[in-house]
Amino acid sequence: MEENEIEAARNLIAYARASQDTGHAIVEDVRILECYLDTMANMGYCRFENTAIDLRDCERHIDDTMDGYEWIARKHIIETAYRIVAPYLKEDGTLDEDEVKNIPKGQDDEEEKEDDE
């Protein structure tokens, strides 16, 4: 599923939840989409892809007023993001692009090296 399709699915879910219109077939479709998106979010092979999409959404709303669990979750995201990014920062606090480029890709690294030879 492409990012714009996932965003459209999430918008549809939000619409259905807001309208609480159980008289239409769309509600069942929304339940299926919710299950699909929840499953995708929990699959290890697309963990970073799905998290990146969700983080961009959180970035758009980072300064929104909120309380309760959402406020706590936002605080945890900021703290976690810092721990993730900190090893890739220069002393002046800017992102070290060379360090980011050197993050291992995994199994594909060996294949790329072989292709280069």
The string of DSSP letters for the chain reads --HHHHHHHHHHHHHHHHH--TTSTHHHHHHHHHHHHHHHHT-GGGHHHHHHHHHHHHHHTTTS---HHHHHHHHHHHHHHHHHHGGGB-TTSSB-HHHHHTS--SHHHHHHHHHH-
pLDDT at 50 over 60: yes
> Which is more confidently placed, 106 or 96?
96
pLDDT at 80: 93
pLDDT at 62 over 70: yes
Enter the pTM of the model.
0.52
Best mean pLDDT range from 35-39, 53-57, 68-72, 88-92: 88-92
